Structure 1
Amino acid sequence: MPDLNLTEVERRTLEGWARRGKTAQAIALRARIVLACADGVSNMDVSRTLQIAPPTVTKWRRRFVEDRLDGLSDEPRPGAPRTITDDHVEQVITTTLEQAPPKGDTHWSTRSMAEAVGMSQTAISRMWRAFGLKPHQVDTWKLSTDPQFIDTVRDVVGLYMDPPENALVLCVDEKSQMQALGRTAPTLPIMPTTPARQAHDYVRHGTTSLFAALDISSGSVIAAHHRRQEFLKFLKTIDKNTPAELDLHLVCDNYGTHETPAIKKWLLAHPLFHVHFTPTSASWLNLVERWFAELTTRQTPPLGPP
């Protein structure tokens, strides 16, 4: 094995590659191999110290002796030359992010983009996957414009984090427009390799609204089916099903029925009830919404025939 001697420039360069955190780990390892060999360490000792195979040490020592620093770079791989350049990729990504889709289209598709930039649909699809672009998907968001947003959030979250003594904190809301549907045939059960199957046709049995009050301390729920206009009736249900000696702090959204004259009059006659409204467009702050979500995804049974 020929001796490996380094110039000052080569040593400084290799030491920089070996130390720099941003250097590709493969290059950093090769630099450490060459530096160790240049210090007179045998190939076997370098292999044991760096915990790599001896042929790996031999390979990069030989490559450095033959081509010096350039020899530590990967050699071009065999195969057809690259036809899609970085400029092509930049063009596709820039067009996707900054230019409007063709007239009449709501978003770019792989076909329309391929036609616009003169590439294949497959190439466009690969680029979008690599950059995590999904022009067909649109998420929504809502910004609360409530001028008292911060104060209201503090009030509600304060109830959750530090409930008053001798009081219950109940998150109250309604799940409206629940459709009672019946399938025209029995649902077929799940089987190996076959999902559960239900008839496409159904029979409507009207709609209903479910009012619920979630006790944040115990997780228990007071629930009742009423028409949307009967929130006052549900307040009376809560009054009957809670200890008379406890204050009741109700977290509600600012839906109009919660502030009607009849509701206000009833609350004045029941001073143990204290209503806390969530900010406008912030129903997510009401914990009973989480219970409604669980009810929808986990507790709604498959519909059978009417």
Structure 2
Amino acid sequence: MNEYWCIPPKENADFIAHMEDILDVYEMPYNPEIPVVCMDEKPYQMLDNRLEPLPVRPGDIQKTDSEYIRKGTCSIFIFVEPLSGWRYASVQEHRTAEDWALEIKHLLTECYPCHEKIILVMDNLNTHVLASLYKCFPAPEARSYAKRLEIHYTPKHGSWLNIAEIELNAMTRQCLARRLMDLETVRQEVSAWEIMRNEDACKVTWHFTADDARNKLASLYPKFSSAEE
């Protein structure tokens, strides 16, 4: 039996530099004028039942046949402001540069229209770059969005540093761990989940600091020999 983990590279300065940058961002005190927002996305396989599930009897659980029909894939985007307990989720057919750019436009113009700056934490997927804005919008518009973003990238093999991934895991357990057969159904279910989480104002308080990393993850840091006296 195998367990799959996101294993960081040992003695890797690039990983450490990005990790400590993210950890410093998470240590910043809450500032509603310059919110820290974490972003992530995941593919989702839409499925339909090949056979109708058996009727549920009182006190019993739903019994569903193991065979299913593939109905295509979609991409789920999520933005979460950990310290305020707010999140925004969106379901799109694809995960292209244009899709990411349109989500960023929505974030800046609909979710935070009056904020001069957003601190954005995300992974370094090839579409998660400012160039995607210029592919989708005229240069003046693209630049107006880019100027409002302060981007901090998680390191490769460091997805655990993205709080939005924690939120996606919660969404998977609470909403997506069942068969949803089409794009509209996925959108409805994700929207209902988003409303529930925002009503509960579910926050994430991050405790792991750079000092903790230097003590507990010492093997990831480059080694230096002591200078001879």
- Root-mean-square deviation (CA), in Å? 2.8
Tell me the residue number matched to 2:71: 205
Tell me the residue number matched to 2:36: 169
Tell me the residue number matched to 2:14: 148
Tell me the residue number matched to 1:232: 101
Match of 1:293 among 169, 188, 195: 169
Q: Is the 8 A contact 2:50 2:67 kept in 1?
A: yes
Distance in 2, matches of 1:232 and 1:148, equals 27
Percent identity of paired positions between Structure 1 and Structure 2: 25
1:216 aligns with 2:82: yes
Deviations 1:81-119, CA, capped at 9 Å, x for gaps: xxxxxxxxxxxxxxxxxxxxxxxxxxxxxxxxxxxxxxx
Deviations 1:19-66, CA, capped at 9 Å, x for gaps: xxxxxxxxxxxxxxxxxxxxxxxxxxxxxxxxxxxxxxxxxxxxxxxx
Match of 1:263 among 133, 153, 164: 133
Structure 1 residue identity aligned to 2:34: A
Taking structure 1 as reference, are residues 172 and 267 closer, same or farther at Cα in structure 2, changes over 3 Å only?
Answer: farther
Tell me the residue number matched to 2:25: 159
Taking structure 1 as reference, are residues 304 and 221 closer, same or farther at Cα in structure 2, changes over 3 Å only?
Answer: closer
Q: Give the 3-state SS of the residue equivalent to 2:115 in structure 1.
A: coil
Tell me the residue number matched to 1:281: 157
Gaps of 5+ in 1: 1-136
Normalised to the residue count of structure 2, the TM-score between the two structures is 0.63
Distance in 2, matches of 1:203 and 1:197, equals 17
Distance in 1, matches of 2:70 and 2:131, equals 35
Q: Is the 8 A contact 1:183 1:304 kept in 2?
A: no
Number of matched residues?
Answer: 169
Based on CA coordinates, which of the two structures has the bigger radius of gyration? 1
Q: Is the 8 A contact 1:163 1:169 kept in 2?
A: no
Structure 2 residue identity aligned to 1:281: H
| Equivalences for residues 1-306 of structure 1 within 5 A | 137-141=1-5, 142-144=7-9, 147-163=13-29, 165=31, 166-176=33-43, 178-188=44-54, 195-226=61-92, 227-229=94-96, 230-239=99-108, 240-259=110-129, 261-263=131-133, 268-270=143-145, 271-300=147-176, 302-303=178-179
Q: Is the 8 A contact 1:184 1:304 kept in 2?
A: no
Structure 1 residue identity aligned to 2:40: D
Q: Is the 8 A contact 1:190 1:197 kept in 2?
A: yes
Greater share of helix: 1
Structure 1 residue identity aligned to 2:35: L
Gaps of 5+ in 2: 183-229
Q: Is the 8 A contact 2:39 2:77 kept in 1?
A: yes
Distance in 1, matches of 2:150 and 2:127, equals 16
